[in-house]
Structure 1
Amino acid sequence: MSESAMGVRERRKSETTRSLVVEARRLFSQHGLSGFTVEELCDAVGVSRRTFFNYFASKDDAVIGVAIRDTEDELDDAFVAGGNPEQDALSPTLFDDFVQLLVDRWNRSDVDTGGMRGVAESIKHEPRLLARMMELAMRDEAMDIALVERREGLQPGDLRAASTVHLVIAFARPSAMEFLSADNTDPLDEIFRRRIAAARVVLN
């Protein structure tokens, strides 16, 4: 597939994903998690049930805003291409490249910040969503560890891959919380890199 065709496909996917998330959160805020169906969500957005399940594993995931991970993702492919699995040492840019990967994913998702803040507050009263968020976080963590292993040519279970992912996530989670706070005006990228810069000072 050409780069331009890939760009069109990704934009269309991003737009559909965003529309489903925004509408799912609107229905959730008005009716609660059990107050609407996937069919009602699809009708509101103008997509088929089959299309919905190409994007999300469940209605809960649409409310949370976590889509199915694409096994043919150009951001992941670019990250993997930046490594050199033939060398003995890890790529010198591994950590920074993984940080950039998370930032690029966030930017591509075109997050509805206001809606996400509302959901974050509502989730406190929906244990099912909170449990699902934790499950998805563990899934994505495992997939990213495997991605680092593939980029660096590491054997499954190599702690260097897990450490890379765990370290970056340790900065990503509080950065996202700060970004979503009601009084924040800074972009996520800036918040994220500010925390990492502070850690470098401590560790050096």
Structure 2
Amino acid sequence: MTTIDRPLGLRERKRQETHRTIALTALRLIAERGLEHVTVEDIATEVGVSSRTFFNYFGSKEDALSTAYPDHRHRIDRLAERLEEAPPGPDPLAGLMAIARSDLERIDADRDEWLLRMTVFTDNPQLLARTAVLESAGEQQMTEAIARWCGLPADDQYPALVLYTFGAAVRSAMRRWYAVDGAESMVDLVEAACAALSAGLPLPADATPRG
């Protein structure tokens, strides 16, 4: 168990519950009314908190959609710490899959929520820009952690390539998962994508290339 994975105290648990309540309420209202027709005040009123309390947790209604879980701000710290503790191996994508498994399992566990979230993002593609900003904040930290895991200098190209390749595997899996309405396991889809990439991305057995 990493330092960040240790049990939380009562105060922190209550804070996380409030975060989740606000995030889920924002998602529901925006899905029902549309992004442009929901204000921070609407969300706060529905939850039963003040707008000031809302801003203690989120910078905007868009952030409430992009940070589904209260431990989001610790996510990169948690992944980097898990990678530090993981034994080195020949397949870095498999290593990243192992440390990210619990995060991916949450998507399967919260299937309906994530299907709704992806519908909202599909209907409002401008939200992707904010998500990209939030994700990019931890790129350097993860690149450095991968470099240490691989035994390479932090400025080597390979660790960044591994990180972005894993990100592509997750995004392609999310696209497939959404297309089949969550009928397939997100964990299995990412594992399959990583395995294909590690194998050199050969054509699937059922592919029928032209010519």
Q: Contact conserved, 2:108 with 2:185, CA < 8 A, in 1? A: no
Q: 1:167 aligns with which of 165, 168, 190?
A: 165
Change (3 A) 1:194 1:72: closer
Aligned position for 1:86: none
Change (3 A) 1:56 1:194: same
SS of 1:70's partner is helix
TM-score, reference length from structure 2? 0.69
Q: 2:144 aligns with which of 134, 140, 146?
A: 146
Aligned position for 1:95: 93
Residues in 2 aligned to 1:152 and 1:190: alpha-carbon distance in whole angstroms: 25
Structure 1: stretches of 5+ with no match in the other structure: 84-89
Structure 2: stretches of 5+ with no match in the other structure: 203-211
Q: 2:84 aligns with which of 65, 80, 87?
A: 80
- Using the TM superposition, give the Cα deviation of residue 63 of structure 1 relative to its aligned residue in structure 2, in angstroms: 1.8
SS of 2:137's partner is helix
- Are residues 1:70 and 2:74 paired? yes
- Using the TM superposition, give the Cα deviation of residue 2 of structure 1 relative to its aligned residue in structure 2, in angstroms: 10
Residues in 2 aligned to 1:31 and 1:72: alpha-carbon distance in whole angstroms: 33
Change (3 A) 1:95 1:4: closer
- Using the TM superposition, give the Cα deviation of residue 104 of structure 1 relative to its aligned residue in structure 2, in angstroms: 1.9
Aligned position for 2:208: none
- Using the TM superposition, give the Cα deviation of residue 36 of structure 1 relative to its aligned residue in structure 2, in angstroms: 2.9
Aligned position for 1:133: 131
Residues in 2 aligned to 1:79 and 1:153: alpha-carbon distance in whole angstroms: 12
Residues in 2 aligned to 1:138 and 1:112: alpha-carbon distance in whole angstroms: 24
TM-score, reference length from structure 1? 0.71
Q: Contact conserved, 2:4 with 2:78, CA < 8 A, in 1? A: no
- Using the TM superposition, give the Cα deviation of residue 73 of structure 1 relative to its aligned residue in structure 2, in angstroms: 4.2
- Using the TM superposition, give the Cα deviation of residue 105 of structure 1 relative to its aligned residue in structure 2, in angstroms: 2.0
Residues in 1 aligned to 2:17 and 2:97: alpha-carbon distance in whole angstroms: 24
RMSD in angstroms over aligned alpha carbons? 3.7
- Count residues in correspondence: 198
Q: Contact conserved, 1:113 with 1:180, CA < 8 A, in 2? A: no
Cα displacement string for residues 53-95 of structure 1 (whole angstroms, at most 9, x for unaligned residues): 4543421021234565227844432222226xxxxxx654643
Change (3 A) 1:143 1:12: farther
Change (3 A) 1:35 1:191: same
Aligned position for 2:22: 20
- Using the TM superposition, give the Cα deviation of residue 140 of structure 1 relative to its aligned residue in structure 2, in angstroms: 4.4
SS of 1:132's partner is helix
Report percent identity of matched pairs.
Answer: 28
